Amino acid sequence: MRRFLISSKKFAGTAELLYNQDGDLITINTRQSDLTKALLAHFKHSVPVHVEAIETSFSADVTIVEAAFEISFDMFWNEYNHKINRKRCEDLWNRLSISKKVAAWLGVAEYNKFLKANEWRKKADPETYLKKEYWENEWQ
């Protein structure tokens, strides 16, 4: 995972870009910026789909900083959004390796997409998701 923070004199705050281990764009996060609708459209058009093009994709007035990427328990907890047994889940989370934390966090989106398509299926408690490593399943 690679994380880049983008800032400019044209907007306040920072935008965040996340690229997966293959260098493909997975997330654009502009919540920490005040981009106008027009600037946001231009920004999204400028973001490269592959990390190799990041240095040449933006104009000279943009600052690009590669930052450490760490997934906190709170990031997982908010993404999973089924808040049951927080303490036990946090203990399980802390025992995971960094790569498993990344996989677990990224897997939530696929799991949620599967649940949306299969409304008959109940969402597992986050404790079960972590214990049984649900992110390893192919949710189709």
Name the average pLDDT for the chain. Answer: 91
In the prediction, which pLDDT does 63 show?
Answer: 92
Domain boundary (67, 82, 104) is at: 67
For the cut 80, the answer to whether the pLDDT of residue 140 exceeds it is no
Domain boundary (67, 85, 116) is at: 67
The residue length of the chain stands at: 140
pLDDT-derived band at 112, boundaries 50, 70, 90: very high
In the prediction, which pLDDT does 6 show?
Answer: 92
89 and 109, same domain (yes or no):
yes
Domain count, the chain: 2
For the cut 80, the answer to whether the pLDDT of residue 135 exceeds it is yes
**Residue 61's CB: how many other CB atoms inside 10 A?**
9
**Contacts of residue 66, Cβ cutoff 8 Å, sequence gap at least 6:** 2, 3, 4
For the cut 90, the answer to whether the pLDDT of residue 108 exceeds it is yes
45 and 82, same domain (yes or no):
no
61 and 94, same domain (yes or no):
no
57 and 99, same domain (yes or no):
no
The residue range of the domain holding 54 is 2-67
- In tens, the pLDDT along 36-87 reads 899 899 889 999 999 999 988 888 889 999 987 788 999 899 999 999 999 9
Domain boundary (46, 67, 88) is at: 67
Is the Cβ–Cβ distance between 79 and 105 less than 8 Å? yes
In the prediction, which pLDDT does 90 show?
Answer: 97
54 and 21, same domain (yes or no):
yes
In the prediction, which pLDDT does 123 show?
Answer: 96
**Contacts of residue 5, Cβ cutoff 8 Å, sequence gap at least 6:** 14, 15, 16, 64, 65, 67
**Residue 102's CB: how many other CB atoms inside 10 A?**
18
24 and 47, same domain (yes or no):
yes
122 and 102, same domain (yes or no):
yes
- By three-state DSSP, how is residue 98 classified? helix
**What does the alpha-carbon distance between residue 96 and residue 130 come to, in Å, rounded to a whole number?**
9
36 and 78, same domain (yes or no):
no
